[in-house]
Structure formats: C-alpha cells, structure tokens
Amino acid sequence: MQKLRVMVVGACGKMGRQVVTAVSRQDDLELAGAVNRSHAGEDIGVIAGIGPIGVAVNPDFDSALTRLKPDVMVDFAQPDGLTGRIRTAIHAGVHPVVGTTGLTQAEVDEIRDFAKQYGLGAVIAPNFAVGALLMMRFAEIAAGYFTNAEIIELHHDRKLDSPSGTAIKTAEMMAARRSAGATLQTTVEAPAAEPAMAPETARKPIEKIRGARGGELAGIHIHSVRLPGFVAHQEVILGNPGETLTIRHDSIDRESFMPGVLLAVRKVVGLREVVYGLESLVFGQ
C-alpha cells in the first residue's frame, strides 16, 4: 500500500507537534517533511517528544514543497502568508488541510475559485474536534426553536484572531437555519400591547464600555475570552421567554483535534473542490 506523504507547516508549534506525532503513528501515512521558521535542521521527532525520526525541520516553505513533493500539506502555522501558502500548494498539486484560522470569507472564496482552476481539493476547518462539530450542529438545530442566542468562545492567550473561526461558523450556521424559516413560534399568547413610545423616548441599549456586548454576526452576539490555561472552548446560550438552553464544548487537550485532522488528510486527496468545515466529511453531508 502506497502511503500518503504529509508535510506539516508550523510543525514546531503546539498543534504542529501533535500533528507530527499523530501522522508518524499511522501505517498509511508518511511524514514527508516539517516546516517551521525556527529550529532549522533539528529532528522534528525530538521536538515533538517522540524521539528521532529522521525528518529535519526546514525553515523555507517553498523549497520544502518543491523538494519533498508531498501529497498533503497540513498547515497550522501563523496566519500571515496563509493564502499565499495555500495557493502555492494548490499550484504544485498538493492538497491543503488548513487548521490555521483568520481567513476572511472573501479569502476563502478566493481560494475556492483558485482551486477550481486546478480541480484540486482542500479542507479549511475552523475546528477539527468531533465534539465541537456536534456542538455546532446542535446549536444550528436549536436556532430554529429559540429566538435569541449568544456565543462565548474561550481560547488560550496566544490565539491571535478573535472571534474564533468556530464561533463565526457557528453563528453562520444558526443564521442560515433561521433564514430558512425554521424558527418555532414560542409565544403561545401575545401579551397586551404597550403604548408605543416616541422615537426620542424609546429605550435603547446602553453600552457603558464599548464592546461590552461583544461583536455581532447576523444578530448573534459573540464574546471572545483569551486567557492562559484555556485550550479551545465554546458555549452557545439560547433564550426564550421563561427558559434558556446552554450547549458547550471543551477541548482540554490538543489531542482532541487529531482524529479530525487525520480524517481530513485521508479524505482531501479524493476531493476536487474546497470544503470549508469538517462537518460534511464527518456527517456525510
């Protein structure tokens, strides 16, 4: 059986080291290379804590891609230069699996159009944890039955972008559910109407500190927390008159992302387009 050759970009970071370890333990995958700006020439196995594996860290992405000719590039590096790396990989016939967040919708659309020119598949996923995907799916379903919702996402203090890609995609999924006209009418009997107030006397929300209510996407407030000690966590709180529903997922170890990463690596070589989000590969939709 021919093994899939995988090159990990951002290999010396916390997520990169986990990917290196996970790929190295698979019988059908081969760690073809490791790219990182620091630790040039060092054995990535030693850096990852699994012992020497004979793969040296290469600080130059372009030369590594040309020389190693991997089948798949897994990118968990810093977001600067990300779109360029993806385009370069696709141009070289290498399938990207991207876990680095920070891409705008316009950039995702640009990558999707670029990949179509080559008929090459890629996976861009805000979150690779299966539990997180279920949390997002449950929130999407619940959005059809609750009129109000807010999202609180909590990550480690080294995460550069906010809100997280997971929070943005969750809000997009919930908004799409609502726009499809699936919202349940929860008010059994309408309360007595109150006298309408003149515009100048109508009560408006008062934000004493700018940003206290978080950002807003499609009517859903999103709050970002960045603190040491967190890995990746998200809570979706939905409210109706007289009740609330809380849906929460916690990744307490980066190992939780590895089954999703390995799934994406194996599936991406059979794709001919860009897949945004892992749910279609996990749930078959």
Active centre residues (catalytic): 155, 159
- CA angle at 226 for the pair 223 and 230, rounded to the nearest 5°: 110
- Distance, CA of 230 to CA of 28 (rounded, Å): 33
- Distance, CA of 94 to CA of 71 (rounded, Å): 5
- Distance, CA of 180 to CA of 141 (rounded, Å): 12
User: Which bin fits 277, alpha (ψ -120 to 50), beta or left (φ > 0)?
Assistant: left
- What CA–CA distances, in Å, run from 207 to 154, 212, 214? 22, 6, 10
Q: Which residues, 6 or more positions from 210, have their beta carbon under 8 angstroms from its beta carbon? A: none
Written as six digits, the tokens of 165 are: 């890609």
Q: Check: CB of residue 10 under 8 Å from CB of residue 32.
A: no
Residue 6 phi/psi, 5-degree rounding, is -120, 130
Q: Check: CB of residue 151 under 8 Å from CB of residue 220.
A: yes
Which residue in this structure is represented by tokens 């050759």?
5
Q: Check: CB of residue 10 under 8 Å from CB of residue 76.
A: yes
The sign of the torsion formed by the CA atoms of 50, 55, 59, 65 equals negative
- What CA–CA distances, in Å, run from 157 to 15, 47, 224, 228, 230? 15, 22, 11, 5, 8
